[in-house]
A and B are shown apart, each in its own frame.
Chain A
């Protein structure tokens, strides 16, 4: 089964670490895996000690692992250039300047970045046939949630635009009853065609996210992170997306029982608090804990990755969103 796996969570909880570790596990299990970083502050490069670009590139030292870092800026520029090229073909030079301004404006609006990121998202999901698993390392909760809510939201907008356009074209056709040529015609209207193409894109994204994707939230054993995760689960469910599980990261390692001293006492206390919080997570969330990862001494990269991957209890073969976690 083809699956997209998303890792999300509050900023700094270790989404990149967990998603890289998971990708490592998938790749080791022989799955053709792709890691996609959508966080504008990319850090996959740091984990694998290798630079990645906007196109999938094989990760050194792995047989079946590739990675890419989506750069929305590049996509915005590409989109802008595409439109300008289409303008050159369609529009007489006299009007170009006037319209140029509008196009530039549209590419500077706050939504442009998100839209561009979303377009790349869809591209990646469309061209994912050669991969058995695509792991998304997403940006901190807020951004991702907005991104994932886009299909529904924008779909509604495009619907309204289509309706309006259909209405005006219909009226133009009616005004031309008799043997006059109508000013606009529904058949072959490039506007309607464009909008419908966009709509189909959004529908594809919505469907894929609902049916072919699994979401995991990374949580740290502290109050803030747990609260944010609870909100994130709620919002995701509002959009009709089910969270398959939680991954607890950054747990304090317990000292040996015979150790006494300030450090050991601190660690023991800290562990007790964390255990309590973990218990709360286990009891109050519907989602299962799909992994408990302790803090490592150094940055997680290289050999550490295999180590962390071993702590992850996410099924590598088929993290089916329907069986991966209980639906609420």
Chain B
């Protein structure tokens, strides 16, 4: 690598735009270094990448294979479910590539081994370093798979495609990336205090992803309302997809609720980073 950190001091005096460019360059340098090291063993990398996608493929294939025997999933065809499933998977894998460094298992390893201290010492923003610290290149195959499932959903669901629908689903993905990224940040922050109970976050992250991969009316009132009004996961993709399919929203909610994903996600992320700042201060405060 060509001394990526050396340029840092003078860049920071050149105003916000130059500093943003510098940070972006730094981020991509971090990613490139990891991508290179991960691709050293070509065959095993290829297998790893295919295997990663195959886990999701097997899950969706299992559902697709049994659906014909039952007809529909409480009125939803395979194409319509593929719309939900593809959106959730696409957003989650993009989020995983971006926020992987904040995921509790990764971060807690840095905290326990002491390499987190190294992050604090380097002359680069802490969060930028965490963002660039665990880039799992093998997940790239999952992006293509998710896009494929989503494309199938788009063509098979019979929805009318307008620019508005495209905007709605793009907003849905952006909102989900921020929302689940926020959950990763919260889980990662918790590792500053404890290692063991962080596993509970999996219910919200991986559980949440699974939850929104299927139409939420199948979960019954209690679960659906909890994940609409307490933890607003239903706004992320379920409401946008209902709107695209021309179906009414539940509980007589106004149609505008389908457009809130790009608002709710970043709000969650902002709250998560506020918590992160508290966590970092706490970590620095213990003298470890």
The finding on whether chains A and B are genuine partners in a shared complex, rather than unrelated, reads: no
Q: Hey, which bits of chain B sit against chain A, CB under 8 A? A: none
